[in-house]
Chains A and B, each alone.
Chain A
Amino acid sequence: MDKVKTNEKFSKRQKLISLTPIIGLVILLILYVVIGIIKDINFKAGFEAIVNQSVILAIVATGAIFIFTLGSFDISLGASTLVSACAGGLVYNATGSVALMLLTCVAASLAASLVSSVLGSIFNLPVFVTTVAMMSVLSAVSEMLITGKGGNQIRISGLSGLENIWVKLIFLVIFTAICVFVFEFTKVGRRQKALGGNPVCAKLTGISVKTYAILAFIMAGVGIGLGGFLTAVRASTITSGTASDIGMNIFIAIVFGGMPISGGPRSRIYAAIIGSFSIRILSQILTMLLAAVPGANGIAQIVRAIFFLAMVYLASMNYRTKMLPR
């Protein structure tokens, strides 16, 4: 009887911890509404801003989950998104074709991702190392694309019809559905998780580390390409500072969403979505609360750091079970 009670208590605690990111998102949403009412904000504009900011982050983060699942990290995500947006913008300006622009965005980011992962495979390096090098290369490439025609920005006009929340949400839903399918319902996803959990064991189960690293970067590349496309559509003017914070924000977002930082079998695609929306809502709340406070930006950064640490701790509690010594 005692054992049954303990068992129930244990599994309830586990469930509660695993639900923390969703509970956190709901609490943040409630806080946003309550504070918004007090501050008398325009909710329609507010929610639009949240969705606009969240979707691009969520799409890139969703693709990047495949890399994080391997226990790896891509530091060049922001630079890759920028190159993708630049390439797409230039093609659109040259051809006026949205389809070609989208294809170019995806092709550019896929190329960058493949170079990172294939280089890692050839030289037997952790892919994180090659992404560090790629970050510099991609920054240089984007600089060349931006300044190639003499200016310091790429202006894109005529895409305002696509600057629409529903278009963005459709992109997010379709890409997320594809990722969930691959991640949760195919051999690829299962093997990615196994590799992240124990690469030695995975190798001894016939899973190729190199192949699945490349596949992870391909999925991430598609996400970056879509993110780059939406960035170009939204920004209308691309400079070297565009998407500069996306890399670090993705890392924070997926941790907010409950992803174990070591990757592995407990990785979840939804962490990217929940985390991206949570981090943006939190930013909006802090903006409302700290609008009149001197040094608001710095305080907001500190608050985000505290939330980040709290989420890492909570996420780790779920899998950091006490070892049963036998």
Chain B
Amino acid sequence: MVSSVRERKNGEVLLTVSDMTKTFGPVTALKNVGMTLKRGDVLGLIGENGSGKSTVSSIIAGMQTADSGNMTFLGEKWEPQSMLDALENGVGMIVQESGTIAGVSVAENIFLGELSQFSKFGIVNRKNLNEAANSVLRNIGVENVTGEMPMAALDFQARKLIEIAKVVMKEPEILIVDETTTALSQHGREVLYKIIDRYRAENRAVIFISHDLDEILEVCDTLTVLRDGNMIRTFEKSEFDADDIRTSMIGREMQGDYYRSDFVPTREDEIALKVDNVVVSGHVNGVSVEVHRGEILGIGGLSHCGMHTLGKVMFGAVAPDSGKVVLSDGTEVKNEFVAMKKMLGYVSKDRDNESLILSASVKDNIAVAGMEKYAVNNFIILDGREKKYVDGQIDSLSIKCSSRNQAVQTLSGGNKQKVVFGKWVGRGSEILILDCPTRGVDIGVKQAMYQLMVKLKGEGKSIVMISEELPELIGMSDRLVIMKDGKVTKEFQRSKDLSDAEIIKYMI
């Protein structure tokens, strides 16, 4: 291991990147990017979706190669052949998307490819394997997961923590954290922040990628801004200024409001959707809540509080054990089919797996939900009408794509999310259930989403915004419901005096 043969001197240059260029088919992801990473440094990479943050870090971590440019690691040429090669030689990356295998145990995931160290004559000693996994997990502060647990039984956050454990146990000199915190609750984030603090103290280095500017300002020592594949500017800690950084990121000063500018809760009298004493075993415990027309209802809490399940119940995707979801005309939302018929829309937290067909085009993804809007006699699809419908959404949401036929999997996260919004907004959904709608999207796209929500509210639509981010819940909601352990613990009305601290005590 690199760490065992060198003394770690603070400030020593660990990694250099120079003139790095990378293209993906029609897209130039990086243009002559250069950067330097020193020991003891926590370098933030920030930029809008598609700016090249993940591309440069994935090249450093051996996930892919650059078209041109040079890298050095500890003074020597750095050309990792794979992520495994990079990890074994001192650079580890926690990837943005899920990197675990569902069909095996936690321990098998952590020691994937290394089971031979626990086997004799080809037989794996599961006791030793599980104990080793438990030790790795405890070392990073994960207490509620054990090695023998099946991966499939874990939620998104726990799976992410397993990924973190897998990388950190190798003690790389450089740890790359790519958009990891969006999948983590406060506890998960604290686990990660402790690891980052340790890395700083041990004179290793961290590259930290996040869209959360507040978080990045808190965690990082220096900050490099990327835009459209170009390196724009590096900020030292003393230069950190949120407005300057935002301007560097988007290349202009932000126009218009970010969150809502008003602080008066408004809504129509009519109740659009009513959740009546819903119980889902282990998730939701007797929740009753109403959403009015023209209202943005925020639902907040920790990741496991039941709010994500509640969102699915509202859309009919999860059948409650008892209780019901009823619309203004008395219709009970029993399944997704009824929800669609009654003009409900649902944006899942798990965008890639639940809200998009990744291999399909932008057109196919947007069009599939809105066929009743453009199909002749609600049955026959004519190409011209379909294209017009899709182009309308691409234009109104400013989706950045080379054409409507571009595969969604090649879009950036923010543009993927815009496609999901286009799918539901285009069909004229009257009630939108948005589960973490701004997860993993940059501030420019976030602002566009918020402005769209305000516009929809103005049109009398009802919006349920489920989120783990308190600032956006406070900034956008007319009414904010806080959940804990499957129950509603508090309801707040919109107010400019509402603060994080006041809300958090009802969450934990």
Residues of A within 8 A of B (CB): 2-3, 6-7, 10-11, 184-187, 189-191, 193-194, 197-198, 200-208, 264-266, 319, 321-326
Contact = CB atoms under 8 A, between A and B. Distances in A.
Interface of B: 23-29, 49-55, 58, 63-64, 96, 315, 317, 336-337, 339-341, 346, 348, 353-361, 364, 367-369, 371, 375, 378-382, 402, 407, 409-413, 423
Given A202-B368, A207-B368, A322-B25, 6 more contacts: A7-B26, A190-B371, A193-B364, A201-B357, A205-B369, A264-B357
Nearest to B178: A325
Contacts of A203: 317, 336
SS of A interface (majority)? helix
B28 A264 contact: no
A200 B336 CA distance: 11
B25 to A, nearest CB: 4
A190 B50 CA distance: 29
B358 A198 contact: yes
A266 B29 contact: no
A197 B409 CA distance: 12
Contacts of B53: 326
A17 to B, nearest CB: 13
29 contacts: A2-B28, A3-B26, A6-B26, A7-B26, A184-B381, A185-B382, A186-B375, A187-B371, A187-B375, A189-B381, A190-B367, A194-B357, A194-B360, A197-B357, A198-B353, A198-B356, A200-B354, A201-B356, A204-B346, A205-B369, A206-B340, A206-B369, A207-B368, A264-B359, A319-B407, A322-B24, A326-B50, A326-B52, A326-B413
Nearest to B358: A198
Contacts of B26: 3, 6-7, 10-11
A204 B340 CA distance: 9
Contacts of B360: 193-194, 197, 264-266
Nearest to B413: A326
Contact of A324 (B24, B361, B364, B367): B24
B336 A204 contact: yes
Given A2-B28, A265-B357, A325 B96 contact: yes
B130 to A, nearest CB: 31
A201 B353 CA distance: 7
A10 B25 contact: yes
Nearest to B360: A265
A186 B380 contact: yes
Contacts of A321: 25, 407, 409-410
Contacts of A11: 26
Contacts of A265: 357, 359-361, 364
Nearest to B339: A206
Identify the interface centre among A206, A323, A326: most chain B CB within 10 Å of its CB: A326
Contact of B354 (A191, A201, A326): A201
A7 B24 CA distance: 9
Contacts of A7: 25-26, 402
A6 B54 contact: no
A227 B24 CA distance: 45
Identify the interface centre among A10, A200, A206: most chain B CB within 10 Å of its CB: A206
Contacts of A187: 371, 375, 378-379, 381
A325 B83 CA distance: 14
B61 to A, nearest CB: 10
A-B residue pairs, 5 tightest by C-beta: A206-B340, A197-B357, A7-B26, A265-B360, A325-B54
Given A2-B28, A200-B354, A208-B337, A319 B410 contact: no
Contacts of B356: 198, 201
A205 to B, nearest CB: 5
Nearest to B412: A326
Nearest to B402: A7
B23 A185 contact: no
B381 A186 contact: yes
Contacts of B341: 206
Contacts of A322: 24-25, 64
Contacts of A191: 368
A190 B341 CA distance: 18
Contacts of B359: 197, 264-266, 319
A72 to B, nearest CB: 16
Identify the interface centre among B25, B49, B54, B357: most chain A CB within 10 Å of its CB: B357
B348 A185 contact: no
A147 B338 CA distance: 50
A229 B417 CA distance: 50
Contacts of A204: 315, 317, 336, 346, 348, 354-355
B317 A326 contact: no
A309 B296 CA distance: 54
B339 to A, nearest CB: 7
A322 B63 CA distance: 12
Nearest to B411: A324
B63 to A, nearest CB: 7
A190 B380 CA distance: 10
A201 B364 contact: no
A2 B27 CA distance: 10
Contacts of A202: 357, 368
A185 B24 CA distance: 33
Contacts of B411: 324
Nearest to B357: A197
Contacts of B379: 186-187
A187 B423 CA distance: 15
Contacts of B28: 2-3, 6
A193 to B, nearest CB: 7
Nearest to A199: B357
Contacts of A2: 28
Given A186-B379, A201-B357, A323 B412 contact: no
Contacts of B337: 206, 208
A211 to B, nearest CB: 9
Contacts of B96: 325-326
A10 to B, nearest CB: 4
Nearest to A2: B28
Contacts of B407: 319, 321
A189 B115 CA distance: 46
B342 to A, nearest CB: 10
Nearest to B29: A324
A200 B54 contact: no
Contacts of A190: 364, 367-368, 371, 381
Contact of A205 (B25, B52, B64, B336): B336
Nearest to A200: B354
A208 B52 CA distance: 39
Contacts of B367: 190
A204 B353 CA distance: 11
A6 B23 contact: yes
Contact of B27 (A198, A319, A324): A324
Nearest to B25: A10
B368 A194 contact: yes
B376 to A, nearest CB: 9
A319 B408 CA distance: 11
Nearest to A208: B337
Nearest to A322: B24
A184 B52 CA distance: 37
Given A10-B25, A322-B24, A322-B25, A206 B336 contact: yes
Contacts of B402: 7
Nearest to B361: A265
Contact of A185 (B51, B58, B381, B413): B381
A239 to B, nearest CB: 43
